[in-house]
Amino acid sequence: MANDEGPGKAASNGNGFGGEAARDQHSVARVHVDSIFEVDRDGSFKIVPGTLERITGFSREELELLTLPNVVILEDQPLAMNAIESVFEGSPLTIQEVSLISEGGGSRPVELIMLPKRQQDKVFSAWGAVVDTGDRMALKDQVAALNEGQERMKEMLRDFVNVLSRDIRQPLTSILLILEMMESGHYGEMAQTSKEKTKKLIEMVERIKDILSDALEMSRRMGGDFRFEPGALSLKDTLEDALRAKDDVIQKKRIKLKKAYREKDTLVNADRKAIYQVVETLIGNAIASTPEVGEISIDIDSIDGYLQVAISDSGEGMADDVIETLFDRFDIDPGREGGVMSLGLGLFLSKRIITKHGGRIWCESFIGLGSTFFFTLPREGGG
């Protein structure tokens, strides 16, 4: 018995859009009824789709006098003809990207979907459909342009930071040298008050140099120049190394240290330099936030397969709105001791480092009760 099937019937026997096109559900899912057409082996239309009328500007009567290759741009006509030929030669489904002639002399990219129409197991015509990909192509171009623009902006930022750091560090070094010579009495003895102010200026210049170093480090890592080199790392030893490096300022401010290393095995697989930078940043912030004769607490604990480090200060604390964006933007804090502005690159980089290692970093703080910075690292892996 003859089997004259259409697109609607094909779902039951596997010879139409519902059966064969299931091999490419992404394409077929976007086929609309008015996109479906039927052509002979030479591409002549037996059923004309409304989609072709809208895209090409030809009327239905005009399209009935044309062939499918006639409405495809010249260079894509062989592709359209090959798609038709393939289904007549036994291919169950053919999908080809071509561009249709569009009204006004332009072109419109589409997916051309072809599959056989059979009668008594013989292909006597071909079902087809066109799926407009113009919007998708435009979106793809927009995303590509946006990515290109972002890369250009990153490159400009890196160049700007490198030039700025170089041009500022040179005069800063000269200023620092002169101030140190003044403090040592090279230019003659100074009153005690002048010595104290000179020393404060030296601290401010050194802080500015630290900020420039942070900016350069951020520039390198944003540019992808930095690569983690994970290895066995003791978090306890890393904390102790950072504390020793800050011992002078800790002693000067008479800060009391409380250590509670509740977890004895503090080994993780992580990049030594990167994790040290995180620890140094958090301890440095805790020292800067803690008043004289204050207290800093440091703890290491084990929680659900992670090692958790907590560094608490006894400073003024922070409001919730500050905490929410603490790691996500460059904070400039003009209220630091000595009037030195703090550029929050350290926390920004710390979040990137910890996240890359498979951990998490956050802060809990209350006004008047100080702040605690936490970070976690997995016991196994990371980096």
For the beta carbon of residue 26, count every other beta carbon within 10 angstroms: 9
H/E stretch holding 247:
helix 247-252
DSSP one-letter string for 318-383: --HHHHHTTTTS--EETTSGGG--EETHHHHHHHHHHHHTT-EEEEEEETTTEEEEEEEEESS---
Q: What 3-state class would DSSP assign to 230?
A: strand
Fold match between 10-132 and 228-383?
A: no
Portion of the chain with pLDDT greater than 70, in percent: 73
Q: Say what the pLDDT of residue 192 is.
A: 85
Strand, helix or coil at 222? Answer: helix
Q: What is the pLDDT of residues 226-260, one digit of tens each?
A: 567 888 999 999 999 999 989 888 998 999 999 88
**Residues of the chain falling short of pLDDT 50:** 1-31, 331-343, 381-383
Q: What is the per-residue pLDDT across 126-157, written as a single tens digit (0 to 9) for each?
A: 988 887 776 555 555 656 676 676 667 666 66
Q: Please count the CA atoms within 13 angstroms of the CA of 132 that sit on its side-chain side.
A: 19
Q: How far apart are CA 102 and CA 352, in angstroms?
A: 49
Question: Which residue ranges make up each domain of the chain?
Answer: 10-132, 136-226, 228-383
CATH topology of domain 136-226: Helix Hairpins (1.10.287)
CA distance 46 to 55: 19
Q: Radius of gyration (Cα) for the chain, nearest Å? A: 35
φ, ψ at 149 (rounded to 5°): -65, -40
Contact status, residue 315 vs residue 276, Cβ threshold 8 Å = no
Class of domain 10-132: alpha beta
pLDDT of 33 reads 60
Q: What's the CATH code, domain 228-383?
A: 3.30.565.10
